[in-house]
Amino acid sequence: MRRMLIRLLGVAGLLGALAPPALAQDGRKDWGWHSDGKRYWRTEEFAKPFVMPTTTTIEVAPGDQKEGDVLGSKYVGKRTERVYFREVPQGPAKDHECSWRMNYVGKTMSREQFCVENGVEQPCGYAHHRVNRTPEPTVE
């Protein structure tokens, strides 16, 4: 009888010691990466829900620059060209979702962009993100 009482007290003690950490896990904590510019480290923090951005960045045609446009560069073949970019509001798209995934082939890793439109997965070329963009002339 005494052994059984000691065992029950031991089990109750273990449950009392392990219950508070188990209850505290309902806070949706996740690991986050931080950097000071030189080193990276992970800390456990509360996960913030993802919110889709309300704006998108588009390339501005030469000569149409306005105040607030950002000077950047884009790759054209093997060269880089200096272009201006502008933040424009992004309307809600119906039946459309852009995402990315890491693609591993052998020892190489690449980031693959794709869109899901009307339930069909397509490679994302950002063509549907451009607002009132005229097609570029083709050079023959």
How sure is the predictor about 129, in pLDDT bands with cuts at 50, 70 and 90? low
Whether residue 27 is found in the same domain as residue 59: no
Whether residue 125 is found in the same domain as residue 96: yes
Q: Which two tokens stand for residue 89?
A: 């509001």
Report how far residue 93's alpha carbon sits from residue 63's, in angstroms, rounded to the nearest whole number: 30
* Choice between 136 and 62, residue whose per-residue pLDDT is larger: 62
| Count of domains observed in the chain | 3
**65 located within any domain:** yes
Other beta carbons less than 10 A from residue 67's beta carbon:
4
Whether residue 100 is found in the same domain as residue 79: no
Closest CA to 100 of 88, 92, 90, 112: 112
User: Sheet containing 96-105: which strands, arranged edge to edge?
Assistant: 96-105, 108-117, 120-123
Q: Please enumerate in sequence order all residues whose Cβ is within 8 A of that of 69, keeping only pairs 6 or more positions apart, or say none.
A: 60, 84, 85, 86
**59 located within any domain:** yes
Whether residue 124 is found in the same domain as residue 96: yes
Whether residue 125 is found in the same domain as residue 100: yes
Whether residue 7 is found in the same domain as residue 40: yes
Whether residue 41 is found in the same domain as residue 7: yes
**139 located within any domain:** no
**140 located within any domain:** no
Closest CA to 26 of 51, 46, 42, 48: 46
**13 located within any domain:** yes
**108 located within any domain:** yes
> Could you tell me the residue range of the domain that residue 100 belongs to?
92-133
Whether residue 6 is found in the same domain as residue 40: yes
Closest CA to 60 of 109, 140, 137, 132: 132
| Span 60-92, pLDDT tens digits | 988 888 999 999 999 998 999 999 999 988 766
Whether residue 27 is found in the same domain as residue 42: yes
Amino acid, res. 66? K
HSE (side-chain half, CA atoms, 13 Å) at 119: 0
**40 located within any domain:** yes
- The predicted pLDDT at position 69 comes to 92
Strands (E), 1-140: 29-35, 40-46, 55-60, 70-76, 79-89, 96-105, 108-117, 120-123
Quick check: pTM over 0.85? Answer: no
**125 located within any domain:** yes
- The predicted pLDDT at position 48 comes to 75
Specify the DSSP class assigned to residue 128. G
